[in-house]
Amino acid sequence: MFSSILSPVAYGALRAIRNLSFTLALPFSVASAAYAEPVTVFALGDSLTAGYGLPEAEGLVPQLNAWLAERGAEVTVLNGGVSGDTSAGGLSRLGWSLTPEVDALIVTLGGNDLLRGLQPSVTRNNIEAILQEAQSRDLPVLLIGMEAPGNFGPAYKTAFDQLYVELAAQYDALLIESYFRLIDPAATDPGQLSPFMQADGIHPNAQGVQRAVENLGPRILELVAQID
């Protein structure tokens, strides 16, 4: 699925040609995402990205691709979600996931770290390593965070929630502080999200995903605008 027949040299030439075409084109419009060639974005994540519990067409990535296509954006998001994956799991498969055709990266990891009660420092180290790898490849990143529940204590919650904010600032990544606030930015209590969640209370239903995509889509266009 992620293999490529392009050599690194050929890939570099291809990107150079595309970038030259972009430079000579009319001024860039984020709404139209008007690139000389289609853009590929890799979505690295867990079950929230994979579309757990939903028919394939109703998952996050298919709905996001449909949203982009409806707006004339020649952007394809690849589904790199693995249900149950921790930040360590995402890091372990990052190298072979970032094939030459990938132009940008979405990172949505940390939910399973929370479910396992891993220390925020562990999650921070893994996500920082992911951002470092993306930076070394000159890939713009959209980092989507998680919010820790209060039952781990205020110190844990502060450390976990802030790691996304701090790492995004350090590595110049776009940031969405909380995945679930994409569903309802005004929600102040998890119970307010229940109409948009599956029975497990963890994963969004199709309507919840649709709401998330409506808020996520414009940020993907913003991400695409950063591609050199």
- Domains identified in the chain and CATH numbers: 8-224 (3.40.50.1110)
**C-alpha distance from residue 131 to each of 34, 151, 164 (Å):** 26, 29, 11
Catalytic residue among 47, 85, 87, 103: 47
Among residues 3, 97, 200, 228, the one annotated as catalytic is: 200
113 part of the active site: no
Contact 41, 106 (CB under 8 A): yes
Name the pLDDT band for 164 (thresholds 50, 70, 90).
Answer: very high
Q: What is the pLDDT of residues 168-220, one digit of tens each?
A: 999 999 999 999 999 999 887 777 899 999 999 999 999 999 999 999 999 99
From the candidates 46, 85, 103, 203, which is the catalytic residue? 203
Q: Give CA–CA dist 165/107, Å, rounded.
A: 13
- Helical ranges in 45-185 per DSSP H: 47-50, 60-70, 87-92, 94-97, 111-115, 120-136, 154-170, 180-183
pLDDT of residue 228: 82
Active site residue 46: no
Confirm whether 4 is a catalytic residue: no
Tokens of 204: 């969004």
Q: Which of the four pLDDT bands, split at 50, 70 and 90, describes residue 8? A: very low
Task: Please identify which residue in the block is written with the tokens 């102040």.
Answer: 188
